[in-house]
Structure 1
């Protein structure tokens, strides 16, 4: 799964200038290339308050990116990279209609900025709801999974054993005040994510 999806994974950095005018990293997350012209899906909360967005491709190429679309109801943002690698690969998407509880899935991303990292788990639930800790957003129709994800994993793909994307990792549930993984992660189904870009997913 990892070798298939690896070329389509990007690190997403939200930057803002410090007191000296130097850009510093305000947020870090993950994105996945879904169109080989440099169109990337990530989570809206990763880039929402950034003054500048930068993406780093699998081959190390860095590029500024612009936010070309948002879907707050799904916590999704669409990015367009200004510079792209010559051999950029878009991820393959797969319908969630046949997804079942117990199906093996993998999460790929940059937890705490480390990575790309891959973790394995299973689908724990379907059509779940999640309200953000601040209570501002209610996300619906989510895939629940137990592959370990943490801050920085947001926006990364949830993939099948074949490396096909079924969801975009968006949230973790932790009943304490601490924002780390305790076994419950949520992903937006790829159908919702593809609709944010206006491309047919399959």
Structure 2
């Protein structure tokens, strides 16, 4: 019996499927829209793996963070009692000197006719028109710088208690940059300074300045004696003042004529000049850490002559 060809092919195909042990459902799993289950499982596993790894890493990080214990910074070592005592002694020293000497320091306001009292031609010196001074004796004599009162038409002196008295110029000496004023005040209201020996001071010793920088009356600054034996030109340039004291105690415009003190509160110099800082436009002068003072021993020689003769 001859079977049609199509029937033979169909039987052959069914036998092949049976031999390979495939079920008819396999055919439906091969559609393009539904990939094989094995491949789908692999895709899911492959996609899930990074998420699980990240969660594991995060859990490790969280555990690691939780395990960190903040470490307290070491507590600073407290200052020793000796250092505290030394600092307290320094404060007490400066406070005591200020209380004893400041009543002897005065603010000097100068009026110069036809000239701005805030200007001064030689930039080595602080401003003319305003300066400092201190009481020399109970007769009302006050020591200051020559360049503070030079060409003055009127001089007013203000004491630490606020009292202002007009003063007269008794004598001046341009070669030492010193001048003496006199005020009419009761002797009991005047407190003269005490004098030290400027020849005995040494570099490195304490230096204290009291004055009126920029009109700020009763200002105390401190530093050291930076150098000795300097010389300073006078305003007219014809003479140099010898044995000038150099200090880093802050001296600014308005300090001129004020006292430079040692640790005993004694006057060892008269603050006279600074090396100024100026901007390129010639702006305000200010302190650079280099100030100069006329030595006390020279002052003690010159001032009596100015009181007696008006010159030295």
Give, in whole Å, the separation in 2 of the partners of 1:10 and 1:84.
16
Name the structure 2 match of 1:155.
Answer: 257
Secondary structure in 2 matching 1:182: strand
1:13 is aligned to 2:109: yes
Larger Rg: 2
User: Deviation of residue 191 (structure 1)?
Assistant: 1.3
| Residues 80 and 100 of structure 1: CA distance in aligned 2, closer, same or farther (over 3 Å) | same
Name the structure 2 match of 1:66.
Answer: 168
1:184 is aligned to 2:290: yes
Give, in whole Å, the separation in 2 of the partners of 1:87 and 1:63.
13
Q: TM-score, normalised by structure 1?
A: 0.87
Name the structure 2 match of 1:173.
Answer: 275
Give, in whole Å, the separation in 1 of the partners of 2:134 and 2:235.
25
* Aligned pairs (5 A) from 1:46-125: 46-84=148-186, 86-125=188-227
Residue ranges of structure 1 left out of the alignment (5+ in a row): 19-23
Runs of 4+ residues deviating >2 angstroms: 82-87, 130-140, 174-179
Greater fraction strand = 1
Q: TM-score, normalised by structure 2?
A: 0.58
Greater fraction helix = 2
Higher relative CO (Cα under 8 Å, sequence separation at least 6) belongs to 1
Give, in whole Å, the separation in 1 of the partners of 2:186 and 2:157.
10
Give, in whole Å, the separation in 1 of the partners of 2:275 and 2:233.
9
Give, in whole Å, the separation in 1 of the partners of 2:272 and 2:262.
17
| Residues 17 and 174 of structure 1: CA distance in aligned 2, closer, same or farther (over 3 Å) | closer
More displaced, 181-190 or 26-35?
Answer: 26-35
Q: Is the 8 A contact 2:174 2:235 kept in 1?
A: no
Q: Is the 8 A contact 2:273 2:291 kept in 1?
A: yes
Residue ranges of structure 2 left out of the alignment (5+ in a row): 1-96, 119-127, 306-312
Give, in whole Å, the separation in 2 of the partners of 1:56 and 1:84.
15
| Residues 197 and 131 of structure 1: CA distance in aligned 2, closer, same or farther (over 3 Å) | closer
User: Deviation of residue 174 (structure 1)?
Assistant: 3.0
Please tell me the root mean square deviation across aligned C-alpha atoms, in Å.
Answer: 2.3
Q: Is the 8 A contact 2:247 2:290 kept in 1?
A: yes
Give, in whole Å, the separation in 1 of the partners of 2:248 and 2:198.
17
1:197 is aligned to 2:303: yes
